[in-house]
Copies of this chain bind each other. A is one copy, B any other.
Amino acid sequence: MPKINDVALAAGVSTATVSRVLNNSKTVNAELADRVRVAAHQLGYRPNGIARSLRRRSSDVIALIINDVSNPFFTAITRGVEDVAQRSGYSVLLCNTDEDPGKEATYLRVAEQQQVAGVILSPNTATSDVSRLFNAQVPLVVIDRTLNEPVDSVMVHSLNGAEAATQHLLASGWKRPACVAGPREASTASDRLHGFLEAVRQHGNLEELYEYAPFTQEGGANAAKSLLDLPTPPDSLFVANSQMALGVLDEVRRRGLRIGYDIGIITFDDAPWAPFISPPMSVVAQPAYEVGRRAAELLMERVISGTPLEPREVTLSTTLILRESSKRLPA
C-alpha cells in the first residue's frame, strides 16, 4: 500500500501538498495539483483513514446503534439515516444491540474508540451510560426511547397512538381489551402501556389487563399465552410492537381463535406484512423513515457546525391505520 510520502515523491512535491490536494484545499497551484492527482492515481494510493482520524480526531463515519435489526421499524429508520448521511458524505455503521445492555456498552465504546463523527442511539434503558461520548464531545442524538440526559432526541408520541388504538378497540365493540406490553425498561413500552391504560380508565368499569414481555416474537407469544389463560380472558389485544404481534398471531392461531369474532387485535408498527395476513392487521404506524431522517439531520448539524447547541427535541406523531383485525364482526 503506497503512503502519502510515496505520492509526494512521485509527484515531486511535499506530503503537505499532497494532503492539500487530496483534501481539496483551494490554495494549490493547478499544475502541481494535477501532478499529485496523476501520481496518486498511478500508484493506486488510498489515504489511510485511521491515520487521518488520529490526526483530525474524527472520522467521516457515524454510528447508528439500534436494538433489533430484524425489526422493520429500525430498518426503516436506518434508511432515513443513511439517506441524509450519504448526502453529507458520511457513511453509517449500523450496530445491533439485540436489547442487550452489554452489547450496547460495547458499541458505545467502539464508537468512542473509533472516533466516529457522531452517534444516533436507541438506548436500551433510560439510564444507558453515554457519559464517555459526552466527555469525548461526540455529537449524539437519541431516538425512539428516552434517556435521562439532556440530549438531542427524535421521539414518536407513543402514548397518543396507544390511546387511540385502544379507544378504537373499545369503539368497535370489544369489551375486554388487554395490552401485550414491551419490556418495563423501555420508555416506549411504558408509554404505550400508559396510553392503553388511559383509554381503559376513560371508558370506565374495565379491568386493567396487561403483561410485560420482551419486544420479540417469543415475548409476544408468551404474553398472549398468559393473558388468554386468564380465568376470564380478554376479548381483544393491543400489542406494543410488530415483532410481538407475530408471536401473538401464533398463539391465537394455535388456540383456534378467529380474529374478528373471538378476538380483536391491533398492534404498533406498520410492518410490511401487516396488510397481507389474514385478516389484514390494523396498526398504529410510526413514521420510522422520518425518525431516521430527522435524527440524522440533527446530528449532521452538530457534526458539521461543531458549535455547541441547546439540546433539541422533536416529537412525531403516529397514524392509526384501520384494517380488519381490530373490527368486531357480527357472529
Shortest Cβ distance from A115 into B: residue: B50
Contact of A50 among B114, B217, B271 (CB under 8 A): B114
Contact residues, A47-102 vs B (CB, 8 A): 47-54, 59, 61, 69-70, 72, 75-76, 78-79, 82, 86, 91-96, 98
Number of copies: 2
A91 cross-chain contacts in B, Cβ below 8 A = 95, 106-107, 110
CB of A297 within 8 A of chain B?
no
Contact of A94 among B94, B113, B132, B272 (CB under 8 A): B94
Contact present for A49 and B110 (CB under 8 Å): yes
- A277 to B91 alpha-carbon distance, docked (Å): 36
Contact of A103 among B44, B70, B86, B98 (CB under 8 A): B86
Contact present for B76 and A46 (CB under 8 Å): no
- A250 to B277 alpha-carbon distance, docked (Å): 11
Contact of A132 among B46, B76, B107, B112 (CB under 8 A): B46
CB of A136 within 8 A of chain B?
yes
Contact present for A110 and B76 (CB under 8 Å): no
Contact residues, A202-216 vs B (CB, 8 A): none
**Best-surrounded residue of A51, A69, A246 (most CB of chain B within 10 A):** A69
Contact of A276 among B78, B79, B114, B277 (CB under 8 A): B277
CB of A109 within 8 A of chain B?
yes
CB of A127 within 8 A of chain B?
no
CB of A249 within 8 A of chain B?
yes
Contact of A277 among B47, B49, B69, B273 (CB under 8 A): B273
CB of A278 within 8 A of chain B?
yes
- A170 to B231 alpha-carbon distance, docked (Å): 49
CB of A135 within 8 A of chain B?
yes
Contact present for A113 and B246 (CB under 8 Å): no
A132 cross-chain contacts in B, Cβ below 8 A = 44, 46
Contact present for B46 and A109 (CB under 8 Å): yes
Shortest Cβ distance from A136 into B: residue: B1
Interface residues of A (CB under 8 A from B): 1, 44, 46-54, 59, 61, 69-70, 72, 75-76, 78-79, 82, 86, 91-96, 98, 103, 106-107, 109-110, 112-115, 132, 135-136, 217, 246, 249-250, 253, 271-273, 275-279
Q: Which 7 A-B pairs have the closest CB atoms?
A: A278-B278, A49-B113, A273-B273, A94-B94, A70-B75, A93-B93, A69-B75
Extra contacts, 6 of them, besides A1-B136, A82-B98 (Cβ < 8 A), are A44-B132, A49-B110, A91-B106, A91-B107, A217-B272, A249-B276
- For this complex, 22 residue pairs linking A to B, each with C-beta atoms less than 8 Å apart, are A48-B54, A48-B115, A49-B112, A49-B114, A50-B50, A50-B53, A50-B113, A52-B113, A54-B54, A70-B72, A70-B76, A78-B96, A91-B107, A93-B95, A94-B94, A246-B272, A249-B276, A250-B275, A272-B273, A273-B273, A276-B278, A277-B277
